[in-house]
Amino acid sequence: MATIDRHATALVLAHALSAAERGLAVIPLSRTKLPALRSPHHEQPEPNPCHGECGRPGHGVYDASTDPRRIRTLFAAAPWATGYGIACGLPPHHLIGIDLDTKSGTDASAALRELALRHLFTIPATVVVATPSGGRHIWLAGPPDAVIPNSASRLAPGIDVRGAGGYLVGPGSRTEHGIYSTVAGTAHLPPASCPPALLRLLTPPPRAHQSALPQMPVPRGQGLVQFVLAAHEGQRNTRLFWAACRAYENGIGETLAEELCDAALQVGLTEREALSTIASAARLTGHA
């Protein structure tokens, strides 16, 4: 049975209630950073798709609430909780978390700076949370109509994204590895709006319409080429970079680079711009 530290639980509850006052929906977490309450369906032989419709707690991020009474009830049911999670993607902030990891052996902060330089955006003044491992969580607000998926190192090595269905460990949480805390000078800030150029990188491309008619097999990677060919002015470089990253991640970067470059030329990039973007994608995915 989990050890109960009532002082730690009372302290983290206070932090969670403070976050809720700012419109951030929260859930209790254990020292392992996982939801503290076990699923009420865990004894069922088949996975249960319930997201809280049963009325009982234990559905992870779907339990998240800004209601103080509901939050107190959740923490009362998990007196061993020493942390709290902040659900992403929910109104009013539609929070997006940019997690700059340090455990992957890469410099995630440098990778984010390179992305910002290449795509001409800056990270605005916003809440930044320091993790026990030396990483950073950058809080950004997304638009209501955008659904940002969770991802690990898709944006760049060492950069994880917390979006719809995900959560961030809240500042003041105590875990097995230490305490999460806001970086000095950022605690009072609201989550700043995500820069449009970064938002485009975080948003997956729309799925192509699937025809009911049988089709001839498409050579591997042609979907990425078509994705670049469909680019409009203002998104050509972004689409090329995204497609090149996916190509290298799937082991076809070298063979597809020429076709991606040709596609970029067709939509208006110069050869120098196209080659530079593809080289950057190769470098960020570890294939340079």
Hunting for tokens 């960020």 — which residue is that? 284
How many distinct structural domains can be found in the chain? 3
- One-letter amino acid identity for 188? H
Distances (CA, A) of 134 to 46, 130, 150: 39, 7, 21
Domain co-membership, 42 together with 121: no
User: Measured between alpha carbons, how far is 282 from 288 in angstroms, rounded to an integer?
Assistant: 5
Query: Is residue 205 domain-resident?
Result: no
Query: Is residue 216 domain-resident?
Result: no
Domain co-membership, 94 together with 172: yes
Q: How many CB atoms lie within 10 A of CB 287?
A: 16
Query: Is residue 150 domain-resident?
Result: yes
Query: Is residue 21 domain-resident?
Result: yes
Which domain, by its residues, includes 1?
Answer: 1-87
Tell me the two tokens of residue 117: 């330089």
DSSP 8-state secondary structure symbol assigned to residue 35:
B
What pLDDT score was predicted for residue 185?
A: 96
Domain co-membership, 117 together with 179: yes
User: Measured between alpha carbons, how far is 149 from 155 in angstroms, rounded to an integer?
Assistant: 11
Domain co-membership, 98 together with 158: yes
Tell me the two tokens of residue 187: 């605690």
Domain co-membership, 13 together with 31: yes
What pLDDT score was predicted for residue 253?
A: 87
**DSSP of 87-134, one letter per residue?**
ESS-TTTTEEEEEE-STTSS-HHHHHHHHHHHHT--PPS--EEE-TTS
Reported as a single tens digit per residue, the pLDDT across 201-214 is: 998 766 555 555 45
Low pLDDT (below 50) residues in the chain? 1, 213, 216, 218
Measured distance between the N- and C-terminal CA atoms of the chain, rounded to whole angstroms = 49
What pLDDT score was predicted for residue 1?
A: 46
Query: Is residue 135 domain-resident?
Result: yes
Domain co-membership, 95 together with 174: yes
DSSP 8-state secondary structure symbol assigned to residue 287:
-
Query: Is residue 207 domain-resident?
Result: no
Predicted TM-score of the model (pTM): 0.71
Residue 17 · residue 28 · CB < 8 Å: no
What pLDDT score was predicted for residue 67?
A: 96
H/E run at residue 281: helix 271-284
Among the candidates 34, 52, 87, a domain finishes at 87
What pLDDT score was predicted for residue 195?
A: 96
Q: What are phi and psi of 7, to 5 degrees?
A: -65, -45
